[in-house]
Chain A
Amino acid sequence: MKQYVLRRVALAVPTLFLVSVIVFGLMRLMPGDVATRMVEGHAYAPTIDALRRDLGLDRPVHTQYLEWVQGIVLRADFGQSYWTRQPILDEFVRRFPVTLELALLTILVSVVIGVAVGIVSAIRQDTVTDYVGRTLAILALSVPYFGLAVLVVVLPSIYFRWTPVYTYVPFTVDPLENLKILTVPALVFGVTRAGPIMRIMRSALLDVLRQDFIRTAWSKGLGERTIVLRHALKNAMIPVITLVGLQMPLYIGGSVIIESIFRLPGVGLFFFEALTRLDYPVVQSVNLIIAALVVGLNLAIDVTYAFLDPRIRYR
């Protein structure tokens, strides 16, 4: 067991190394350069040279890479933003709870809506209810969440002089205000993500409802509610959970736009601003931290499997 865990940990190292090289390389391959981006129109040759020197961009690329990696490995120092000159890790830690809360609320909304509509559609297959449910799912799938977000922000401001954009308050300071602020973004994002969940839910449930054990249940004389909720649903949920897991990166990725429109100071916005400003260290380090989180999560899952199922250890 110990050996297995050690081997898995050792495997994570080359993965993260590759991520670091790719991210570092990609940033440098992007057209343009951060010094000229910073001065925008106020460019004078001496200004740009001076800025490059200040930022350490005048040194060879491999030196810059080694310095970045060394800082992380030896001192857990993920570097500073070129623009804000603030430590990246501090900023990430400060902003991560916002993005995590948004992602969790979004998942909650999309699962509740998707599962409920999916169940109704499946048990009322080929009725008007089913068609309405399926149409809604296709609509949710085809409306881009960023478009919906803009409409939700702009339209009520024109017609009702009201807009669901607030000044962010952390959950720890005022939980009710915090939930009020996050409800609309989570609803907008969650509704558009509910589409695929509804479709998977419906087809999985239809599949299960045709199986022998369900027929047995019917013949025992059990009621519809018991059959669907107690027997069929549990079995049909497996692909839904897999889908939610697979969509996890989408929730983080989508937070970029949602956070920007609804003024939420999360990681998505931090990353997006850094990307548009060619803030190399921020993009590199945030990418690497997220990659490390994903690798860490997978590692934890693998280790849990190994713990639960001894056969995995010896494979």
Chain B
Amino acid sequence: MARRLTLIVLALTLALCAAASPVLAQQPKRGGTLRIAEREAPNLDPHLAVSFLTHSYVNLVYSQLVRFAHGTEQKHGGDFTIVPDLAERWEQKTPTELVFHLRKGVKFHNKPPVNGREVTADDVKWSLDRFMTKSGFRARFDPVQSVDAVDKYTVRITLKEPNAPFLNHLANSSYTAIMPKEAEAQFKDFNRPEAAIGTGPFVLKGYDKGVRAVFERNPDYFVKGLPYLDSVVIEITPDASARASLMRAGKVELIQIYGHASIEEGKAFQKTNPEIDLHLLTVMAQGMIYFRTDQPPFNDVRVRRAISLAIDRKGWNDALLYGEGCLVSGPVPCAMKDWRVDPSKLEPAKAKYLGGYDPAEAKRLLAEAGYPNGFTTPAFHWPGYAPPWRSYYDLVADNLSKIGITVELKPEEYGKYISTTYLGKFEKMAIGPVTPFTEVDDFLFGSYYPEQPNNRSHVADAELNKMLQAQRRELDPKKRKAIVEDIQRYLADKAYYVYLPSSAQYQAHPKYVKGFKHHDGYGLGHKLMFTWMDR
């Protein structure tokens, strides 16, 4: 009996080993070059540029105090869990005092004039101070009172008042690269390849302007064993069709830094290039109709609710987004899973004004508000957004015509759109997407608090303001989450913004590219750190 049991256990073990072998075969391999076709970054100094391209390029080179989870560390693409980077741990000493303990022995890239010296608290203080004086994004650090180097490996950041989103900004690779001051002394700024000296996973080896940038593995990277790739090459390619052709021809592995392809592009790749791996992603995207809620007719909640009820989101998703989109893209985007309350979890009587479809009820509401025959409104927008956006405008006009509202589509030139309509300077109504942020505060406080430039709908709601402020000051993650959920419950039937479906994206790359995981932050270097080539 015992022998039989032993045999069974042995057989089971063998079977398990056999089943596990494909997993074993998936052990990351070192080596290889990953090529990316992408537009050129306008500048290499992360504090002198506010472009996401600059911040993505230089994220290969620089580290931060803390960063977002990536690769094997992340739960999903919208996971903004904060993990150690140059700081191995940190403590919230008081509600306004954060203390960071640096890793010891981390070395800058071995390039003159820094020549691989150790990173200290002084470098961190110098870099954050430089950010606060030079960066176009310096308003992000308005809550900061001071940054102090307590000793060689300890940095203290003192805030003016408790600020829950601050740590997320500190982890955002767009803001807080840690750089060596000698490089600025020698090169005036960091906007040249020789001056790009950091502690990141890759070293910038060559940069031919307008042609290509070559990054090689940092042999002294402080995370042992990473990165896997020998090198990363960005082949500068301004034109989107040329980028896709380069991948089809096997000359690059990614057609942009996120590795995204639109649904249409993805379907085309499926047909023509079966060797390309395609994963469907819910990405940080938000599309909405926004209004002058401070003026008639949109100051009447019944009118706004009628508009929301007139949008056939399901039909829209099936017809335009291959049924792969997310039906209601706000107030918290679908990809921000850790914060979002799905409309199905809200009280149905209120949630119907967020994502419901009921033209008859919409007409009744319009009549009740004094518009039995509807009305005419302009809809300002920029027609240049990538597909399927152009169809969005027509669909809004079509959906609203069914309840008697005539929409006059008003296309605008990009420069005008982004500096007027996008910032709430328009008449009556507008349609468009918004920037993918990494902090839930930006989608709530930014979109709903009075005087914020992204408060496009001119919302001014005293009760809401209290909650928006409260979530900013609440440092306990659980309690803050509860407030953020309350805000979503409160907003469900207000229809300050009418949220449209958001499109999914494909992640596209050849099958031999492994470990490249989508993340909604700007940390290209962190993504590539976990990427490897199976060939």
Contacts and interface: CB of A to CB of B under 8 A. Distances in A.
A153 B247 CA distance: 12
A162 interface: yes
A99 to B, nearest CB: 12
A46 B420 CA distance: 16
B241 A154 contact: yes
B386 to A, nearest CB: 15
Chain B contact surface mostly: loop
B245 A44 contact: no
B535 interface: no
- Give the most central of A260, A262, A263: most B CB within 10 Å: A263
Interface in B208-225: 208-212
Given A153-B245, A261-B239, A263-B236, A36 B42 contact: no
Given A158-B272, A168-B211, A263-B236, A43 B244 contact: no
B189 interface: yes
B50 A263 contact: no
B415 interface: yes
A221 to B, nearest CB: 57
A84 B246 CA distance: 26
Given A41-B422, A44-B453, A163-B246, A94 B435 contact: no
Contacts of B245: 153-154, 157, 163, 165
Contact of B51 (A32, A38, A153, A158): A38
A270 B209 CA distance: 11
- Give the most central of A51, A150, A165, A273: most B CB within 10 Å: A165
Contacts of B434: 41
Interface residues of A, number: 51
A40 B435 contact: yes
B211 A265 contact: yes
A262 B236 CA distance: 10
Contacts of A46: 138-139, 142
A153 B241 contact: yes
Contacts of A37: 414-415, 418-419
Nearest to A166: B251
Interface in B241-255: 241-242, 244-246, 248-251
Interface in A109-140: none
A39 interface: yes
A286 to B, nearest CB: 15
Given A153-B245, A265-B209, A85 B191 contact: yes
A261 B241 contact: yes
21 contacts: A32-B419, A36-B418, A38-B50, A39-B50, A39-B136, A41-B422, A41-B435, A42-B174, A44-B140, A45-B451, A46-B138, A46-B139, A47-B138, A47-B139, A50-B136, A153-B242, A153-B245, A161-B250, A269-B210, A270-B210, A273-B40
Given A32-B420, A163-B245, 17 more contacts: A32-B416, A37-B418, A41-B434, A41-B454, A47-B138, A85-B43, A153-B239, A153-B245, A154-B245, A163-B246, A163-B248, A163-B251, A165-B251, A168-B211, A261-B239, A261-B242, A263-B242
Interface of A: 30-33, 36-48, 50-51, 54, 81, 83-86, 91, 94-95, 150, 153-154, 156-158, 161-163, 165, 167-168, 260-263, 265, 269-270, 273, 276-278
Interface of B: 40, 42-43, 45, 48-51, 136-140, 142, 174, 189, 191, 208-212, 235-239, 241-242, 244-246, 248-251, 272, 412-420, 422-423, 434-435, 437, 451-454
Those 7 A-B pairs whose CB atoms lie nearest each other, nearest first: A32-B415, A41-B435, A265-B210, A31-B416, A36-B419, A157-B245, A83-B42
